[in-house]
Amino acid sequence: AFFWLVSLLLASLIWFISVHLSDRDNAKLQYGLLIFGAAVSVLLQEAFRFAYFKLLKKADEGLAMISEDGRSPISLRQMAYVSGLSFGIISGVFSVINILADSIGPGIVGIHGDSPYYFITSAFLTMALVLLHTFWGVIFFDACEKRHYWCLGLVVASHLLTSGLTFLNPWYEASLVPIFIITLCTGLWAFFTAGGSFCNILKCLSCKQEDDSRVMMYSALQVPFED
Amino acid sequence: MITFTNNSDSEEEPCNERTSLMSAESPPVPSYQDGLPASEAGEAQAHRKRRTGSSRSPNNIADGDMSDSGVPVRESALENEEEELTLKYGAKHVIMLFVPVTLCMIVVVATIKSVRFYTEKNGQLIYTPFSEDTPSVGQRLLNSVLNTIIMISVIVVMTVFLVLLYKYRCYKFIHGWLILSSLMLLFLFTYIYLGEVLKTYNVAMDYPTLFLVIWNFGAVGMICIHWKGPLQLQQAYLIMISALMALVFIKYLPEWSAWVILGAISIYDLMAVLCPKGPLRMLVETAQERNEPIFPALIYSSAMMWTVGMAKPDAAARGPSRQMWDAAEDGRENHRSPSHTDSQMSETRSPVPTRPITSFEELEEEERGVKLGLGDFIFYSVLVGKAAATASGDWNTTLACFVAILIGLCLTLLLLAVFKKALPALPISITFGLVFYFSTDNLVRPFMDTLASHQLYI
């Protein structure tokens, strides 16, 4: 969360400077600067996610070195999940808490011609964003670990795409629906990256006790997790 | 001020006195290794990565055990376990401190956002005599700097006074002072707070009920804080009085003075704890010479020991306050000093009877505690509360300050693990908090507001 905040700070600094250096009255220019600011912010967020990955990797190595069996108590996958989740939470909270605070007070939504569905769509968008950050975190860390740089590029591109789609608000059909589709796809991708599979789901749902004859198969199934 | 303590389950120890002495004298971080026989052997081991300065107190105990555990394999195994324990407990300690700090901040922010009284300007403390209602910016800045100088000098004078009192063994005076100060906090401030909350929610309460509620609250609080009580209750009371103090500061400190005071306090904290001639350091050294614990009740302790194992019945000694605010100041002062003291004195440990190797298993069941001074709670809450009160109704600023303070606390705990001595808890957190407050309020807020008005997400 701290890293996300720092990235947001830097991005706002850049936007602030650019706004102050430009012509305040030109609405189109201001809107363009806003788009530029948002893009810079997305790129900075991903950069700081990478920085956080590096930091956690160092910590992971340190933990592994001083632990008994040479493995750190927290796996990199768990760290990826936690990092993604915290990015998502702080990003979601920053996006939505002022809206929530305003929604308590007296007022009418969209009285000046804006969409009356502002609150509910904000809620859905925030939810999608939080989930997306979590999934991106998992995929990102895994891609960095395995050096699949095309995965990294895809994550950054999907983040930019999501942010760009929000520019289509209030045309909610064009923005909300694709964003939810992206969320689903990213979720599935993250699930398979983290080692999940159809068999695992079945096993989880059935909650059966494994009998001895299946021990070998179980441990074979577990191997992907332990890497 | 942050310190670690090693707390043993007193029932398992043969002698309560020894337990309390041990716990009182346990070193900050080496408490993880405290009593572990292999801690000394670990120096030579390859796995010794971060135990740089560990040659101090653990070895006093470990010395005697070395003769027993001559097997290097056993030592290295214990050493590894101990390192893992350190990490596990390190993470646990961070959480143990996050929760009370968060709770205190939540109480303060909730009160600020709902009760108008604490954001109204109704005069100033006598410690900040210069008003900020001046026409020019320069004058206002000058006034706030002067206010800060006065406030900090008052704090320094109080601390030196306390050190002198302690040096000349005026324990009764100190105890009386602390008791009066907590009396005032628990009764008067609670009465005002309750009154304002009832006013805000337009709830009627008759005087007999009020008297009963406040009497019970205050009496139980006094007993819990100064004598014995369930740990959770004591922690809850300490959190509540920190929140009350912070609310008082938020109400009565003028705007710019508050920020300058926060900055100056963290610098003062840094100097007082780390400089050789600082008053707090002298207090600590005196305590070490006398080999006794000082004012443990003014510190938030997350461990069991303080309520059970303390040999002295009244750990707290709060001084008498002639004026309303004197005690507030002293209370805050004392918050910091005892914590430093406790941590420092715990480092130079007097010869302690050696413990057999089997005590290692005992230690695993022990509660290992972390102590943070109440002054730190108060100033963290003042920062977050001020952010909530004055950041143009913006929640983002409050949240950013909150995250910044917690990260600062985390870093300070990390440094504590590295340096293994008493550290000031204020500087890093307050610096982060101030940086994030000003940058979020001025840079991030317009950005996020513009984005939100177009319903854009980043």
Looking at residues B121-127, what average pLDDT do you find? Answer: 80
Confidence of residue B75 (pLDDT cuts 50, 70, 90): low
- Strand B299-301, strand B2-7: pairing: unpaired
Count how many residues are written for chain B. Answer: 458
Does A101 sit within 8 Å of B458, measured CB to CB? Answer: no
User: Hey, of A5, A15, A136, which one would you mutate to test binding to chain B, going by the most B CBs within 10 A of its CB?
Assistant: A5
In a domain, B274, yes or no: yes
Residues of A in Cβ contact (< 8 Å) with B449: 98
CA distance B277 to B266: 17
Looking at residues B146-163, what average pLDDT do you find? Answer: 90
pLDDT score at B80: 61
Whether the per-residue pLDDT at B111 is higher than 80: the answer is: yes
Asked if B97 contacts B372 with a C-beta cutoff of 8 angstroms, the reply is yes
Asked if A140 contacts A155 with a C-beta cutoff of 8 angstroms, the reply is yes
CA distance B210 to A44: 55
Asked if B192 contacts B331 with a C-beta cutoff of 8 angstroms, the reply is no
> What are B's interface residues with A at a Cβ cutoff of 8 A?
47, 49-50, 80-81, 83-84, 87-88, 393-396, 399-400, 403-404, 407, 436, 439-440, 442-444, 446-452, 454-458
pLDDT score at A61: 84
Task: Provide the 8-state DSSP code for B339.
Answer: H
> What are A's interface residues with B at a Cβ cutoff of 8 A?
1-2, 5, 8-9, 11-13, 15-16, 19, 34, 37-38, 41-42, 45, 62-63, 65-68, 73, 90-91, 93-95, 97-99, 101, 118, 121-122, 125-126, 129, 162-163, 166-167, 169-170
Looking at residues B166-183, what average pLDDT do you find? Answer: 87
- Retrieve residue B213's tokens: 């509620």
In a domain, B424, yes or no: no
Looking at residues B224-236, what average pLDDT do you find? Answer: 87
Residues of B in Cβ contact (< 8 Å) with A68: 80-81, 84
Could you tell me which residue, A205 or B90, shows the higher pLDDT? A205
pLDDT score at B367: 52
DSSP B402-431: HHHHHHHHHHHHHHHHHH-S-B-SHHHHHH
CA distance B251 to A14: 35
- Strand B367-373, strand B299-301: pairing: antiparallel
pLDDT score at A137: 93
pLDDT score at B131: 81
Looking at residues B226-245, what average pLDDT do you find? Answer: 90
Looking at residues B81-97, what average pLDDT do you find? Answer: 70
pLDDT score at B429: 93
Asked if B104 contacts B242 with a C-beta cutoff of 8 angstroms, the reply is yes
Looking at residues A87-94, what average pLDDT do you find? Answer: 93
DSSP A166-204: HTTTT-HHHHHHHHHHHHHHHHHHHHHHTT--HHHHHHH
pLDDT in tens, B304-355: 543 333 333 333 333 222 233 333 344 444 334 334 333 333 333 333 344 3
Least confident of B224-228, B375-379, B384-388: B224-228
Asked if B184 contacts B227 with a C-beta cutoff of 8 angstroms, the reply is no
Mean pLDDT of chain A: 85
Whether the per-residue pLDDT at A145 is higher than 80: the answer is: yes
pLDDT score at A220: 55
Whether the per-residue pLDDT at B38 is higher than 50: the answer is: no
Give the structural domain span for B213. Answer: 93-302+370-394
Whether the per-residue pLDDT at A156 is higher than 70: the answer is: yes
Does A62 sit within 8 Å of B455, measured CB to CB? Answer: no
Confidence of residue B100 (pLDDT cuts 50, 70, 90): very high
In a domain, B57, yes or no: no
Residues of A in Cβ contact (< 8 Å) with B443: 9, 12-13, 16
Could you tell me which residue, A53 or A219, shows the higher pLDDT? A53
pLDDT in tens, B254-313: 888 999 999 999 999 998 888 888 887 787 778 778 877 656 557 787 765 433 333 333
Whether the per-residue pLDDT at A213 is higher than 90: the answer is: no
B63: annotated active-site residue: no
pLDDT score at B74: 58
Q: Which of B65, B269, B326, B441 is catalytic?
A: B269
pLDDT score at A162: 92
Does A170 sit within 8 Å of B403, measured CB to CB? Answer: no
Looking at residues B234-254, what average pLDDT do you find? Answer: 91
pLDDT score at B107: 94
Whether the per-residue pLDDT at A205 is higher than 50: the answer is: yes
Looking at residues B198-225, what average pLDDT do you find? Answer: 93
Residues of B in Cβ contact (< 8 Å) with A19: 446
Residues of A in Cβ contact (< 8 Å) with B80: 66-68
B449: annotated active-site residue: no
Whether the per-residue pLDDT at B68 is higher than 50: the answer is: no
Confidence of residue B93 (pLDDT cuts 50, 70, 90): confident
Task: Give Dmax (Cα) for chain B.
Answer: 76
Residues of A in Cβ contact (< 8 Å) with B448: 12, 94-95, 98
Whether the per-residue pLDDT at A108 is higher than 90: the answer is: no
Calculate the CA B184 to chain-centre distance. Answer: 20
Domain count for chain B, please give it.
1
Q: Where are the domains of chain A?
A: 1-197
Give me the interface pTM, i.e. the ipTM. Answer: 0.84
Least confident of A72-81, A134-143, B278-287: B278-287
Does B47 sit within 8 Å of A95, measured CB to CB? Answer: no
Whether the per-residue pLDDT at B113 is higher than 60: the answer is: yes
Mean pLDDT of chain B: 72
Does B393 sit within 8 Å of A101, measured CB to CB? Answer: yes
List CB contacts of A111: < 8 A, sequence separation 6 or more.
Answer: none
Give the CA count within 13 Å in the CB-facing half-sphere of B362: 19
pLDDT score at B366: 43
Phi, psi of B370 (to 5 degrees): -125, 140
pLDDT score at B83: 60
Looking at residues B124-148, what average pLDDT do you find? Answer: 86
pLDDT in tens, B399-430: 999 999 999 999 998 888 888 777 888 999 99
Q: Percentage of residues in chain B with pLDDT exceeding 90?
A: 28
Confidence of residue B27 (pLDDT cuts 50, 70, 90): very low
